[in-house]
Chains A and B, each alone.
Chain A
Amino acid sequence: MTPRKTALFPGSSAPLPRSASTPDNALATELTRRLGPHKVLSRLSERLNYRYDAIQFGATPLCVVLPESTADVVTAVRAARAAGVPIVGRGAASGLSGGAAPAQPSVVVSFTRMTRLEIFPERREARAQAGVVTLAVTERARPFGLIYPPDPASFRTSTIGGNLGENAGGPLCFKYGVSGDYVRALEWVDAEGEVHELTREAYDLAGLLIGSEGTLGLITEASLRLTPPPQFTRTLMASFADVGACAQAVSRAIATGAVPAKLEFMDQACVNAVEDFLRLGLPREAGALLLVDTDGDDLDTVEEERALVEAACLEAGGTVRRAVSDAESAALWQARRSVSPALGRIRPQRMNEDIVVPRSALAEVVREIRALGDASGLPLVQFGHIGDGNLHPNILFDPRRESPEAVHDLAHRIALVAIRHGGVLSGEHGIGTMKRPFMREAVDPLTLAAFRDVKRALDPAGALNPGKVLPDEEGEPHAHP
């Protein structure tokens, strides 16, 4: 039996697949010659698996390079450049904006084998290659009494290179900041295949590369700042009749001087989704649920901060539950951690928004988005890092039942709500392809022109991760995501 026959069903109209046991294009052949077969993937079965991130499928790459050193990255970039083929960098592809999904046939540079990690406790610093898994930095630093605070939800999977490419955040970022805040120096490869080392002195070029989603250069290594972990953490959960009261409580608590480590919010639809899934005894009737951690090295201060938050919640009409033990605290946080699986049970797919709005506008924004969701008939839940005003409205859908156009349309309306209230499109997941169509409405023309100048200066041929972040220029054919 030939492979061709085995794969096809009688009567299927699927096109005949092509199977290549040897590189089936000149570029793959050239890269295999230079790097060896172990570092270059060129079969269809291999390339098919480098089309996606955690939200989107893109074009099948022409070939995939798995570099083991910066020199391998240079080889890949130069060969791709010579062949006039785009280059897409990729970590663990757990991103939520389409950033690592190639928009057109490209060379994908997947950093998962660049995993060298050194800890320098005396200067509280880690040196990590791009493919180091985020959590590994803390795991390796902990024996020296240090941690790496950025905590995106995907930190067991995602890589340092990917985190820096998207400038990933996480629940801790209200107090501790985002990935970019921990970078002391970067090694990166430019569009010509030249290697550079950047610190944060003079022009903060490192800051420009962080969050550029692989459109300005490929980050290959980073020096990261480490900190001692806080000795004490205290948790409380508060429920409110509506989101307005919740937002008010948060604003009051912050105004009184509390700097909680985490301030997480879930709306009623989200609470009910988690409750349906796990039956934790969450208050289903609550319009909004707030989860708060205060932390630090002085227990009195940590307790005092929690008391400030508690008082603010009570003043805003909330009901407060303090965790009295670590186990109870873990049980309360289980609700927040279970949001993703709970949503997966409602619909198989979701469009994950990542807007940031001023806290003063939060109640109104959440209300407007709720109304849009109800009017659309699509299941919609809202949660997020309320301390930063970072909201994640999630549209849940099943492509068999709901039209992708309707989903996209609702996402666009949500983005417009954020913009109208003085907000931005992305807090921590990046623009990628998902929010790219909304960029013209979110960024004024002069700023957008400055972005384009920067892109042209660093990547004149437009070879680095094309089709991401910046919308097409007027006159260009419009590429819909």
Chain B
Amino acid sequence: MNNEIPVQMIGPQGEVMAHAVDACVHCGFCLPACPTYALLGDEMDSPRGRIVLMKEVLEGSLPLADAAPHLDRCLGCQGCVTACPSGVPYGELITAFRGWSEPRRQRSPLDRAKRAAILKILPAPKVFSLAARVGQHTKPLAPVLPAALRAPLDLLPEQVPAMQPLPQVTRARGPRRGRVAFLAGCAQQALAPNFNAATLRVLARNGIEVVIPEGQGCCGAAALHTGARDEALRLVRQNLAAFHPDDYDAILSNAAGCGAGLKEYPAVLHGLPDEARARALAAKVQDISEFLAGLLRAGELEPFLPASRPLTVAYHDACHLAHAQGVRAAPRELLRAIPGVTVAEVPEGDLCCGSAGTYNLEQPELANSLGVRKARNILSTRPDLIASGNIGCHTQIQSHVRRAGSRVPVLHTVEVLDLAYRGEL
């Protein structure tokens, strides 16, 4: 798309944005992949429409305030990236744009406070756990609370589990075949501590030593995708200091959003001094399912015990796994490697569940419509189990599946593998 974005005034992130706008030929192949277009049916809430809006704002011919509502509705799911025949790096564009535009936004004091609170609480597991407990007790009040406070309460599980301390080093069981660093994640430590516990058990069982490097923090994705670029840069640099890629066979994450966040570091630091270091780190990052599927393909994965009865597992593709990281086959291969398990494909599987980082807190109505649709699609496969690889999707899907009246267990992929190893599936 022709553009006259004044790159020299914006700097390296301006280059990132102008390059993405250039690449778009407004062919419209992104339309069916976009959840908000599916819901709203208008151009401004489609990927190519948003690219036009960002271009016009950057060129100075459209006020940011006019474009903002449509840009805010983007989930950042990157479904359009997978669908785009021209390879437009839309994810980089919207992230860079949010970083550029946030300091220029007019927001109400309440809005500012809410955003600041989300960005403070989400990445701090202990604070999050405390907040979740307080929230749990507040739940009965939900019907009388304003919508802004109701959304986060709606998403809280019935029980907030106790935090589980994580060992800095988990030794391999049997002969050591590898050594990996693990990003422990933030909110999921509070909401679903078993994700990490199961991950450590499965890796150890396969002879992999796991180190949780000291000094690591939140991956920064939540800050980055909501436009808090300075905060994101601080977290990125903190992790660059904590993780030494040369010391490990891989750097693993079991949260799709965090893994994608780590892989984004080179784009975030584009044109800045640490870019090369970010590249080295990103090159080592793998999702837990990619790493385990690598062992499976090499014939090195410990075999699973068969399920106690034939099980249909509905596998949900987290956007940040399928679209942002291109990881689709690995989790399915792993699940199918469990004797007795059949993997069911979910209709409209490429459409976001509506969780999308902080989206379900900021756009609760659209997030809710997508959540209802996702639950209906998943349940249409009549699953015995639902598996996914991201805490956000997990929370959203569990909440909507329960509201649809189903008690089907919702698990992380690695929890299913862990159960299979223990003969409890």
Chain A positions within 8 Å of B, measured between CB atoms, are 1, 3-4, 6-10, 12, 14-15, 17, 19, 41, 43-46, 48-50, 52-55, 57, 66, 92-94, 110, 112-113, 115, 131, 133, 154, 156-158, 340-341, 344-345, 348-350, 399
A425 CB to closest chain B CB (Å) equals 21
Tell whether, in the assembled complex, residue B41 and residue A94 are in contact, meaning their CB atoms are under 8 Å apart.
Answer: no
Interfacial chain B residues near A8, Cβ < 8 Å: 60
Please, could you name 29 A-B residue pairs with CB atoms under 8 Å apart, sorted by A?
A3-B64, A7-B61, A12-B60, A15-B61, A41-B42, A41-B44, A45-B66, A46-B42, A49-B42, A49-B43, A50-B43, A52-B52, A54-B25, A57-B2, A93-B26, A94-B27, A110-B42, A112-B41, A113-B41, A157-B27, A340-B85, A341-B86, A341-B87, A344-B25, A348-B22, A348-B23, A349-B2, A349-B25, A350-B25
Tell whether, in the assembled complex, residue B27 and residue A9 are in contact, meaning their CB atoms are under 8 Å apart.
Answer: no
CB-based closest 5 A-B pairs:
A3-B63, A344-B86, A49-B43, A3-B65, A45-B66
Interfacial chain A residues near B27, Cβ < 8 Å: 54, 94, 154, 157, 340
In angstroms, Cα B26 to Cα A350, docked, is: 12
Interface residue? B59 (CB, 8 A): yes
Tell whether, in the assembled complex, residue A14 and residue B87 are in contact, meaning their CB atoms are under 8 Å apart.
Answer: no
Tell whether, in the assembled complex, residue B44 and residue A7 are in contact, meaning their CB atoms are under 8 Å apart.
Answer: no
Tell whether, in the assembled complex, residue A9 and residue B9 are in contact, meaning their CB atoms are under 8 Å apart.
Answer: yes
Interface residue? B156 (CB, 8 A): no
Tell whether, in the assembled complex, residue A344 and residue B23 are in contact, meaning their CB atoms are under 8 Å apart.
Answer: yes
The stretch of B28-36, B134-142, B239-247, B306-314 in contact with A is B28-36
In angstroms, Cα B129 to Cα A204, docked, is: 70
Given known contacts A340-B85, A341-B87, A45 and B28 CB-to-CB distance under 8 angstroms: no
Residue of A nearest to B19 (CB): A348
Tell whether, in the assembled complex, residue A93 and residue B57 are in contact, meaning their CB atoms are under 8 Å apart.
Answer: no
A318 CB to closest chain B CB (Å) equals 29
Given known contacts A1-B104, A9-B6, A19-B66, A14 and B59 CB-to-CB distance under 8 angstroms: yes
Given known contacts A12-B6, A14-B59, A45-B44, A19 and B32 CB-to-CB distance under 8 angstroms: no
Chain B positions within 8 Å of A, measured between CB atoms, are 1-2, 6, 9, 22-23, 25-29, 31-32, 41-44, 49, 52-53, 56-57, 59-67, 70, 83, 85-87, 104-106
Interfacial chain A residues near B106, Cβ < 8 Å: 1, 3, 6
A8 CB to closest chain B CB (Å) equals 5
B128 CB to closest chain A CB (Å) equals 32
Tell whether, in the assembled complex, residue B42 and residue A112 are in contact, meaning their CB atoms are under 8 Å apart.
Answer: yes
Interfacial chain B residues near A46, Cβ < 8 Å: 42, 44
B48 CB to closest chain A CB (Å) equals 8
How many A-B pairs have beta carbons closer than 8 Å: the answer is 124
Interfacial chain B residues near A113, Cβ < 8 Å: 41
Tell whether, in the assembled complex, residue B25 and residue A157 are in contact, meaning their CB atoms are under 8 Å apart.
Answer: no
B42 CB to closest chain A CB (Å) equals 6
In angstroms, Cα B5 to Cα A7, docked, is: 12
In angstroms, Cα B6 to Cα A158, docked, is: 34
Tell whether, in the assembled complex, residue B56 and residue A48 are in contact, meaning their CB atoms are under 8 Å apart.
Answer: yes
Interfacial chain A residues near B29, Cβ < 8 Å: 94, 154, 156-157
Residue of A nearest to B83 (CB): A156
Further contacts, 20 of them, CB under 8 A, given A54-B27, A93-B28 = A1-B106, A3-B65, A7-B57, A8-B60, A12-B6, A14-B59, A17-B63, A19-B63, A45-B53, A45-B62, A45-B67, A45-B70, A48-B52, A49-B52, A92-B31, A113-B41, A156-B29, A157-B28, A158-B28, A340-B86
Given known contacts A340-B85, A344-B85, A14 and B66 CB-to-CB distance under 8 angstroms: no
Interfacial chain A residues near B32, Cβ < 8 Å: 133, 156-157
Given known contacts A14-B61, A48-B62, A66 and B25 CB-to-CB distance under 8 angstroms: no
Residue of A nearest to B45 (CB): A49
Tell whether, in the assembled complex, residue B53 and residue A49 are in contact, meaning their CB atoms are under 8 Å apart.
Answer: yes
In angstroms, Cα B85 to Cα A154, docked, is: 11
Tell whether, in the assembled complex, residue B87 and residue A399 are in contact, meaning their CB atoms are under 8 Å apart.
Answer: no
Interface residue from A4, A93, A349 paired with B63 (Cβ < 8 Å): A4
Q: From B23, B67, B70, name the one whose CB has the most chain A CB atoms within 10 angstroms.
A: B67
Interfacial chain B residues near A3, Cβ < 8 Å: 63-66, 106
Given known contacts A54-B26, A66-B41, A7 and B86 CB-to-CB distance under 8 angstroms: no
In angstroms, Cα B23 to Cα A344, docked, is: 7
In angstroms, Cα B119 to Cα A227, docked, is: 55
Tell whether, in the assembled complex, residue A43 and residue B66 are in contact, meaning their CB atoms are under 8 Å apart.
Answer: yes
Residue of B nearest to A1 (CB): B106
Tell whether, in the assembled complex, residue A399 and residue B28 are in contact, meaning their CB atoms are under 8 Å apart.
Answer: no
Interfacial chain B residues near A349, Cβ < 8 Å: 2, 25
B108 CB to closest chain A CB (Å) equals 13
Tell whether, in the assembled complex, residue A19 and residue B87 are in contact, meaning their CB atoms are under 8 Å apart.
Answer: no
Interfacial chain B residues near A41, Cβ < 8 Å: 42, 44
Residue of A nearest to B33 (CB): A156
Residue of A nearest to B24 (CB): A348
Q: From B27, B29, B31, B52, name the one whose CB has the most chain A CB atoms within 10 angstroms.
A: B27
Interfacial chain B residues near A340, Cβ < 8 Å: 27, 85-86
In angstroms, Cα B37 to Cα A66, docked, is: 13
B40 CB to closest chain A CB (Å) equals 9
In angstroms, Cα B59 to Cα A17, docked, is: 11
Interfacial chain A residues near B2, Cβ < 8 Å: 57, 349, 399
Interfacial chain B residues near A348, Cβ < 8 Å: 1, 22-23, 25
Interfacial chain A residues near B9, Cβ < 8 Å: 9-10
B107 CB to closest chain A CB (Å) equals 11
Residue of A nearest to B21 (CB): A348
In angstroms, Cα B23 to Cα A112, docked, is: 25
Tell whether, in the assembled complex, residue B64 and residue A7 are in contact, meaning their CB atoms are under 8 Å apart.
Answer: yes
Interfacial chain A residues near B63, Cβ < 8 Å: 3-4, 6-7, 17, 19
In angstroms, Cα B65 to Cα A48, docked, is: 15
B54 CB to closest chain A CB (Å) equals 11
Interfacial chain B residues near A94, Cβ < 8 Å: 27-29, 31
Given known contacts A66-B42, A92-B31, A112-B42, A17 and B25 CB-to-CB distance under 8 angstroms: no
